[in-house]
Amino acid sequence: MSANVGAPRTRGKSKAPEAKMRKAAQGLSELAMETLKAIMEGQGQDAVRLGAAREVLDRGHGRPKLGTAEAGDEGLTVIVKRFSDVTAEDEAEADATEARS
């Protein structure tokens, strides 16, 4: 007989380190959100600010599910432009879109 008779079988790694890491990360959630907010409101590069905004939205509303549009769904297109790049035509199109809503 084996010396391990009655010992529980273990497969793979223990979940305890993962649980500790998850709990530690959750403890830093408030700081992480404050940091993302500061980046969004800061004067940094637009790509970095957009990335921070996307992270906040993903955490607050979940990541968008791609390829699950039902019949009749129009979807959403977001175009990010610098204020100086917005034309009168862009403004008129945006106003027309808002009027349809």
| Predicted model pTM | 0.44
How far apart (Å, rounded) are the C-alpha atoms in residues 56 and 42?
A: 15
Sign of the alpha-carbon torsion through 17, 22, 27, 32: positive
Give the residue among 25, 59, 23, 26 at the shortest CA–CA distance from 40. Answer: 59
Task: Output the pLDDT for position 64.
Answer: 76
Task: Output the pLDDT for position 38.
Answer: 92
pLDDT tens, per residue, the chain with 101 residues: 555 566 566 666 666 788 888 888 888 888 988 998 999 898 888 899 888 888 888 888 888 777 655 555 667 777 787 888 888 888 888 888 788 76
Residues 50, 80: contact at Cβ < 8 Å? yes
